[in-house]
A = this chain, B = another copy of it.
Amino acid sequence: MRGAWLENRQLVFRDDLPLPVVREGEALVRVLVAGICNTDIELTRGYYPYAGVPGHEFLGELEGKRVVGEINASCGACEACTHGRPTHCERRTVLGIKDRDGAFAEYLALPVENLHVVPDNVENEVAVFTEPLAAALEIQEQVRIERETRVLVVGNGKLGRLIAASLALTGCRLTVIGRQHGEIAPRSFDVVVECSGNADGFTLARNAVRPRGTIVMKSTYAGDLTFNASALVVDEVTLLGSRCGPFAPALQLLAEGKIDPRPMIDARYPLNDVNAAFAHAEQPGVLKVLLDIRG
């Protein structure tokens, strides 16, 4: 089949890839549209030693139905799986990220239980945002956000905008700042969501959060972060890592039109121009770049 292949940080288009292996309980999904995420870009920079087809944001087709899919395939038997944390299965594979070929190809395989049928009124190019929107909604699974909660989102890239849009629906007191940030009152936010993915953003988040407040860490980082642990202890701040989230409420928000991600689409490329698509997606200020898998 046709697809993108990543190995030793080299991303190439190939037309000779084997179809993915379909294991028991899994389905072979024909991919229609896929989105490039910062994690994909980080993979090409060696953030994680992945070799295979990248890509984990997709809209596909299975038996005439349009589907999106949760990206973690878990074993169902380990302690994490049997204690309600399947996305943390120690033996998991992750679509396009770990031990499972991903969405930048004509076909992918996922457990049937991971798939969600897309409501008819959700366009393909809207449905492809289900996975990152679900990741944004994970924040509200972990931290209580109320109308009076003062929330700062640090980072106004792809994920930051989805996070801001989903938080805005709560009616909370929301502030969003980008890379070129202005003045922020120190120690004044109840919750700070760090999705800039850089150390400056983390420093800004640390300064902005109030004592006993929470910093939600939503980005992967190229290197280690350094922080003043004593100040964290004295201020009793909570640092909270946050990753994948729930698909059902994400699909519902898209179906109800409460979040419209289409203004975030900056470019579309055919699959065989995957290198140009990545080069475009890496440009500063560029938001979502989509791959037309049939193209």
User: Interface on A for B, CB 8 Å cutoff?
Assistant: 47, 79-80, 85, 88, 90, 142, 187, 202, 210-212, 217-221, 224-230, 232-243
Contacts and interface: CB of A to CB of B under 8 A. Distances in A.
Nearest to A221: B229
Contacts of A241: 232-238
B221 A230 contact: yes
B224 A229 contact: yes
A234 B244 CA distance: 9
Copies in the complex: 2
A238 B236 contact: no
B211 A232 contact: no
Given A187-B90, A211-B80, A211-B85, A217 B229 contact: yes
B232 A239 contact: yes
A220 B237 CA distance: 13
B243 A217 contact: no
B217 A232 contact: yes
Contacts of A226: 224-226
Contact of A242 (B85, B202, B233, B243): B233
B227 A224 contact: yes
A137 to B, nearest CB: 14
A45 to B, nearest CB: 12
Nearest to A211: B88
Given A220-B234, A235-B88, A238-B238, A229 B202 contact: yes
Contacts of A242: 233, 236
A47 B233 CA distance: 14
Contacts of A220: 229-230, 233-234
Contacts of A228: 224-225
A47 B228 CA distance: 12
Nearest to A187: B90
A261 to B, nearest CB: 22
28 contacts: A79-B210, A80-B211, A85-B211, A88-B210, A88-B236, A90-B187, A202-B229, A217-B229, A217-B233, A220-B230, A220-B233, A221-B229, A221-B233, A224-B226, A224-B227, A224-B228, A224-B229, A225-B228, A225-B229, A227-B227, A232-B239, A233-B241, A235-B241, A236-B240, A236-B243, A237-B241, A239-B239, A239-B240
Given A88-B210, A224-B229, A238-B239, 18 more contacts: A80-B211, A85-B211, A85-B212, A88-B212, A88-B235, A142-B236, A217-B229, A217-B233, A220-B234, A221-B230, A221-B233, A224-B227, A224-B228, A226-B226, A232-B239, A234-B241, A236-B243, A239-B240
Nearest to A215: B239
A88 B209 CA distance: 13
Contact of A233 (B218, B230, B235): B218
